[in-house]
Amino acid sequence: MTTTYAERTATEKYVGRPVDRLDGPAKTTGEARYAAEHRYPDLAYAALVHATVARGRITAIDTAAARAVPGVIEVLTHENAPAMKPFKVSLLDPLGAMASGTSVNYLATDEVHWNGQPVAVVVAETHEAARHAASLVRPAYQELPAVVDFSAEEPNATPQKRSMLLESEADKGDAKAALAAAPVSVDLRFTTPPHNHNAIEPHATTAAWNGDHLTVHEATQGIPWVRKQLALRFGVPERNIRVLSPFVGGGFGGKGPIWAGTLLAVLAARATGRPVRLALTRAGVYHTVGGRTPSTQRVALGADEDGRLTALIHTSVARTGRVGGWQEQITSASRHLYAAPNIHLRQHLVQLDLLPNTPMRAPGESIGSFALESAVDELAWELGMDPIELRMRNEPERNPVDGKRFARRFLREAYALGAERFGWKERDPRPGAMRDGRWLVGMGVATAYHPAMHMPVSAAVRLSADGGVVVRCAMAEIGVGAATVQAQIAADELGVPLEAVRVESGDSELPLGAMAGGSTQTASVAASVLAACRKLKQSALALARRSPDSPLRGRRLSDLEARDGGLFRGGSGETYAAILTRAGRDHLESEIKPGMLGLVGPLRDRMRWVKAACGAQFCEVRVDRDTGEVRVSRWLGVFDVGRVINAKLVASQLRGGIVMGIGLALSEETLIDPRTGRIVNASLGEYHVPVHADIPRIDVHWLDEPDPTMPLGLVGVGEVGITGVGAAVANAVRHATGRRIADLPITLDKLL
């Protein structure tokens, strides 16, 4: 597998253009069908019963009242449910460990591992009967001591394990000594609360068995994982399982792993012999789908009087669950952003009796960048220096912790452009100096950073005699416009009009491997689609050359141009349709199947290069002088995200990240009662995601410099947008009020 990529498609007709989403009409007319919207005759409905203790054993479970509800078909508990196979991690598939959200074998055990764990499933003829009956199931528990209080447990944190896929600790020089000796320094402690993804579509599964064949309509970011997990847990071959997920109503990481709802819907369908739909309630999502870990972090920076960093210390404590969980690279940005000669990075974990945490948009970086970039800003205040200037003085030539080369880095350019467009020089550097009526105005900046990667995925492209092209890939469409981007790439590479390209996705019958996660999907699929298109052109040419009548006879692909639906040189050439028709073929297809070996390239790449998306976030806030209410009034981000295939979609992705970041900065917090481990605000009414009125116009720009080490030069954009946002807001608040808020979210009570 090579690590250098062609930077361009054969023609540059669609790539780079702000093409409208191909699925726009389906989504705006209500035609797009999501996982809970597939009808089956004989469909039954399931509802979950959630545990109300943090840890314990079920001593009895009374289902009589539930069974008596008219329409109830079955009440499944650990006493009567058919067994699922236990969760298992395969050494051959390290990623597989992430596939299951928890290791709990639901309804096969009387053990309760967290407050909210499903302990029974009711299946009924209607959704209403199932839900009502579920409220009547009465479990009795023997409670066991549970450890659920993150801050109380912090002293017991242990070092995070090293992992091939994650960035972890680092040491360079002697950071502690350098900090002590530094003429100027800051040493801050930050806290960030747990968060929940809150995709507007709650997780839903519609499952139908036919003998030992299973069809599941599932809201998932990772079709391959769902199929694999279900095969494993239900003991049927993977080929017997069809997972359909053409539209997913938002994921943000929460629909990556397989959670209780999916398994229990399939289990209920098997137990009752009926197709079953399990659409989680909003509270059900909170109680069964893990969210972002809370963190406490320390960032200490030492600098000389000119603002050159001498020491950078960044340590973190996060949590996992006793029955699963995911470690985050919270100090990741500190490996890459500043040229400090002495660096000390450590990540720690505590294990709690809670629903395991799971990746949520930019796991690690979103909250890690809050701490690092807030501390850098504070250092600028200490130095009396402009915070952009401070960053520019410490911009490294090579990766600070290990001297690796950057695949590319345009942070200077991003800041320069951003400062100009945002009007940074209008900023009066004194705190509280800018006012507008009752509002104190503040401006802040922070750096956005997210590592870039791509994975081996399978994809196929088919060319038909009628000139149509079909791109086939079991990727997930969670809102990124996956199909649109790949259609643009295929249309360009093959030289066909965009309208001729159809994309089939969201079905496990298609070539597998793609996952919408870690900002890897677009680049990963692009690599395979591009390769498939190239192979296809070769095949088409080979076919043409076999015919004595073909004007392509004797030509090599490198001499030809793909355009007008075929291969041409100057005025002579042929359309694919003509080639196929003459050869009596109705289609040609090529498939790229890199398999696990395909991981070698990207991993080797990682040893060699540091690749990332990065950017400069500019924020203006207004803080009410009386009440401390904070409103974001302007936003501008300039990003270095490699090649931009579709400006419209990239802008939306970046904006979406920033919007979620504004939530992280100002209002989002999952409240977990430290006495019981219960999520207290398990609703969209009490967990405050940003609404229209919270979000100003968000101006996004990018530098459009291809990354030479990534397919088509493109870098994923799904996550970088949220990074740096928390800090940019905090830094603007610092400017407006003189107050450094180190504990998210920045609610008004912290400013009074």
Partner 1 sequence: MRVNGVEEKLDVEPWVSLLDALRERLGVTGPKKGCDQGACGACTVLADGMRINACLALAVQYADKEITTIEGVTPHPLQEAFVRHDGFQCGYCTPGQICSAIAMLDEYAAGMPSAVSDGAPQLTEAEIRERMSGNLCRCGAYNGIVDAIKEVAG
Partner 2 sequence: MRPFAYVKPPDVDAALQAVAADSGARFLGGGTNLVDLMREGIERPYTVVDVTGLPLDEVAELPGGGLRIGALVRNSALAADRRVRTRYPMLSQAILAGASAQLRNMATVGGNLLQRTRCPYFYDQASACNKREPGAGCDAIGGFNRSHAILGVSDSCIATHPSDMCVALTALDAVVEARSVRGTRRIPLADFHLLPGDTPHVETALAADELITAVEVPPIAAPSRYRKVRDRASYAFALVSVAAAMEVEDGTITQVRLALGGVATKPWRAREAERILLGGPAADEAFRRAADAELASAVTRPGNAFKAGLARATIAATLRDLTPGEEAA
Shortest Cβ distance from residue 204 to partner 2 (Å)?
18
Q: Are 430 and 488 in contact (CB under 8 A)?
A: no
Site string for partner 1, 669-688 (x = CB under 8 A): --------------xxx---
- For the question of residue 719 being annotated catalytic, the response is yes
Burial class, 334, CB count within 10 angstroms (exposed 0-12 / middle 13-18 / buried 19+): buried
The residue type of 66 is: A
Could you say which DSSP state residue 426 is in?
Answer: G
Structure tokens at 478: 């969670």
Binding to partner 2 (CB under 8 A): which residues in 52-71? 52
Pick between residue 23 and residue 377 the one whose CB is nearest to partner 1.
Answer: 23
Distance CA 220, CA 157 (A): 32
Instruction: Confirm or reject binding of residue 683 to partner 2 (CB under 8 A).
Output: yes
Is 198 one of the binding residues for partner 2 (CB under 8 A)?
no
Least Å from the CB of residue 26 to partner 1: 8
The answer to whether the CB of 50 falls within 8 A of the CB of 284 is yes
Q: Terminal CA-to-CA distance of the chain, rounded, Å?
A: 58
Q: Could you say which of partner 2, partner 1, ligand FES, none residue 36 binds, taking C-beta under 5 to 8 angstroms by partner kind?
A: partner 1
Indicate whether 287 belongs to the interface with partner 1 (CB under 8 A). Answer: no
Angstrom distance (rounded) from CA 351 to CA 357? 10
Could you give the CA distance from residue 235 to residue 129 in angstroms, rounded to a whole number?
A: 31
Do the strands 342-352 and 170-172 form a parallel or antiparallel pair, or are they unpaired? antiparallel
Q: Which is nearer to ligand FES, 186 or 698 (CB)?
A: 698
Give the number of other CB atoms < 10 A from CB of residue 273: 12
Least CB distance to partner 2 at residue 247 (A): 24
Q: Answer yes or no whether residue 691 interacts with ligand FES by CB under 6 A.
A: no
480 touches partner 1 (CB under 8 A): yes
Q: Which is nearer to ligand FES, 198 or 737 (CB)?
A: 198
Contacts of 340 (CB under 8 A, 6+ apart): 172, 175, 301, 309, 310, 311, 312, 394, 400
Total site size for partner 1, rule CB under 8 A: 62
Q: Are 442 and 751 a contacting pair, CB within 8 Å? A: no
φ/ψ of residue 72, rounded to 5: -75, 130
Question: 87 with 318: CB under 8 angstroms?
Answer: no
Task: Output the smallest distance, CB 649 to partner 1, in A.
Answer: 7
**Binding of residue 694 to partner 2 (CB under 8 A):** yes
Nearer to partner 1, 577 or 654 (CB): 654
Q: Which does 697 bind (CB under 5 to 8 A by kind): partner 1, partner 2, ligand FES, none?
A: partner 1
Contact, 72 vs 47, CB < 8 A?
A: no
Nearer to ligand FES, 290 or 481 (CB): 481
Provide the 3-class DSSP secondary structure of residue 102. coil
438 binding partner 2? (CB under 8 A):
yes
DSSP string computed for 359-375: --SSTTHHHHHHHHHHH
Per CB under 8 A, the list member of 31, 62, 128, 143 interacting with partner 2 is 128
Q: Confirm or reject binding of residue 24 to partner 1 (CB under 8 A).
A: yes
Cα separation, 126 vs 680, in Å, equals 28
Nearest distance in Å: CB 688, ligand FES? 15
- C-beta closer to partner 2: residue 584 or 685: 685
Task: Please tell me which residue in 378, 477, 620, 719 is annotated as part of the active site.
Answer: 719
- The binder of 11, among partner 1, ligand FES, partner 2, none, by C-beta within 5 to 8 A per type, is none
191 binds partner 2 (CB under 8 A): no
Position 691 contacts partner 2 (CB under 8 A):
yes
Measured from the CB atom, the residue of 204 and 496 that comes closer to partner 1 is: 204
List 250, 431, 601, 696, residue binding ligand FES (CB under 6 A): 250
A 10 A CB-CB count for 216 gives 26
- Alpha-carbon distances of 77 from 53, 181, 193, rounded to whole Å: 17, 63, 34
**Which of 194, 356, 456, 479 touches ligand FES by CB under 6 A?**
479
Per rule CB under 8 A, is residue 278 in the interface with partner 1?
no
Report H helices in 462-621: 482-494, 521-545, 576-583, 600-608
- Least Cβ distance, residue 355 to ligand FES (angstroms): 23
Rule CB under 8 A: which of 262-291 touch partner 2? 283
Cβ atoms 208, 243 nearer than 8 A = no
The smaller minimum CB distance to ligand FES, of residues 250 and 429, is found at 250
Burial 243-268 (b: 16+ CB within 10 A, else e): bbbbbbbbbbbbbbbbbbbbbbbbbb
Active site residues: 719
What are the residues binding partner 1 (CB under 8 A)?
Answer: 20-21, 23-30, 32-34, 36-37, 39, 126-128, 132, 197-202, 247-252, 279, 281-282, 477-481, 648-649, 651-653, 655-660, 683-685, 689-693, 695, 697-698
What are the residues binding ligand FES (CB under 6 A)?
Answer: 200, 250, 479
